[in-house]
Amino acid sequence: MINPFKKSYSKEEINTFRFLSRIKLFSLLSNDELSEFVPILYPRKYKKDEVIFFRDDPSQALYIVKRGEVILNIDINNRFEKLVEVKPGQAFGDNTLLTNTKRLYTAVTSSDSATIYVIPQVNIQDIFSGNDKIKAKMLTSLAELYNHYTGNLFKAYKSSFGFFDIAEAYRS
């Protein structure tokens, strides 16, 4: 039996839901929950070598690469060391889901151009305040991501034969 009260979505919206659902932070959300984010996906175009944000900037938005590539760098002794290259369909700046955080790295466009969806933190917090299920699902995904990052850190530490003080990561 067809439910005449069930919300239907356009083909464009369904495509946006598919795109978002492949991103870890959004992977646990239903289409109805994902629909909350569609109006706040602000596409922005960037040129090669354009800085999206610097390390220590306030975390005020989540970014999702639609087209192009972005390099996340950490600056050490006035030079940049590449952490990762973010490709289409990947997000960065995920600590914006937490309040009062700062960027841990610098993000710079590495392709000739890039189209990146920007989701302002204030809009995310508005969605969170109106829907505890969305907040819980996204924070669960964030915790899973951070657990993955920590596992990678331990692997790197182990393979480097302990050439750095891993206890530094756990000091407050």
Amino acid at 130: G
Q: What pTM does this model have?
A: 0.86
What pLDDT is recorded for position 106?
Answer: 95
Coil, helix or strand at residue 152: helix
What pLDDT is recorded for position 162?
Answer: 61
Tens-of-pLDDT digits for all 172 residues of the chain? Answer: 555 556 788 999 999 999 999 999 999 999 999 999 999 999 999 999 999 999 999 999 999 999 999 999 998 887 888 989 999 999 999 999 999 999 999 999 999 999 999 999 999 999 999 999 999 999 999 999 988 877 777 777 677 766 666 566 556 5
Sketch the domain layout of the chain as residue ranges: 11-160
DSSP codes of every residue in 48-102? TT-EEE-TTSB--EEEEEEES-EEEEEEETTEEEEEEEE-TT-EE-GGGGSSS-B
What pLDDT is recorded for position 51?
Answer: 96
CATH of domain 11-160: 2.60.120.10
Q: Which residues of 31-70 are buried (b: 16+ CB within 10 A; e: fewer)?
A: eebbbbbeebbeeeebeeeeebbeeeeebebbbbbbebbb
